[in-house]
A = this chain, B = another copy of it.
Amino acid sequence: MNVEIVNTGSELMLGRVLNTHQQWLCRRLADLGHVVTRQVAIADTGSEIQTAVREALSRADLVITTGGLGPTSDDITRELIAEMLGKKLIKNLDVLAHIENFFAKRGRPRPQKTDVETMVPEGALVFLNPTGTAPGLAIRVEPNLFRADKTPSWLVMLPGPPRELRPMFDVSIAPLVKREFADEIFVCRTLRTTGIGESRVQEMVADELQPLVQRGMEIGYCARPGAVDVRLTASGAEAVSVVQAGEAITQKVFGANVFGYDDDEIEQIVVRLFVEKKKTIALAESCTGGNIAHRLTNVPGASGIFLGSVVTYADSAKKKFLGVKPETLAAHGAVSEPVAREMALGARAKFGSDFAIAVTGIAGPSGGTPDKPVGTVFIALASALGVEVRRMQNTWDRETFKQVTAQQALDWLRLAVSA
Contacts and interface: CB of A to CB of B under 8 A. Distances in A.
Interface string A109-131: 00111100000000000000001
A177 to B, nearest CB: 15
B313 A10 contact: no
B15 A18 contact: no
A297 B363 contact: yes
Interface string A364-386: 11110000000000000000000
Interface string A14-34: 111111101111111110000
Interface stretch (A87-95, A138-146, A248-256, A395-403): A395-403
A222 B399 CA distance: 25
A52 B292 CA distance: 41
A199 B72 contact: yes
14 contacts: A11-B222, A12-B23, A14-B27, A15-B36, A71-B202, A74-B221, A106-B393, A113-B202, A163-B397, A290-B292, A300-B366, A307-B316, A310-B321, A316-B351
Given A105-B395, A220-B74, A294 B290 contact: yes
A197 B163 contact: no
A293 interface: yes
A15 B11 contact: no
Interface stretch (A41-49, A77-85, A168-176, A408-416): A41-49
Contact of A26 (B13, B190, B292, B310): B13
A36 B13 contact: yes
A297 B290 contact: yes
Given A40-B40, A308-B314, A310-B321, 8 more contacts: A13-B26, A15-B30, A72-B221, A73-B219, A293-B293, A302-B313, A308-B321, A314-B351
Main secondary structure of the interface of A (DSSP, over half): mixed
A334 to B, nearest CB: 10
A231 interface: yes
A309 interface: yes
Interface in A238-275: none
A50 interface: no
A65 to B, nearest CB: 15
A206 interface: yes
Contacts of A153: none
Contacts of A167: 397
A246 to B, nearest CB: 14
B42 A13 contact: no
A352 B312 CA distance: 13
A39 to B, nearest CB: 4
Given A74-B219, A225-B163, A350 B321 contact: yes
A104 to B, nearest CB: 11
B15 A25 contact: yes
A108 B41 contact: no
A16 B27 CA distance: 7
A311 B38 CA distance: 45
B13 A111 contact: no
A156 interface: no
A37 interface: yes
A354 interface: no
A35 interface: yes
Contact of A298 (B200, B367, B398): B398
A174 B365 CA distance: 22
B289 A311 contact: no
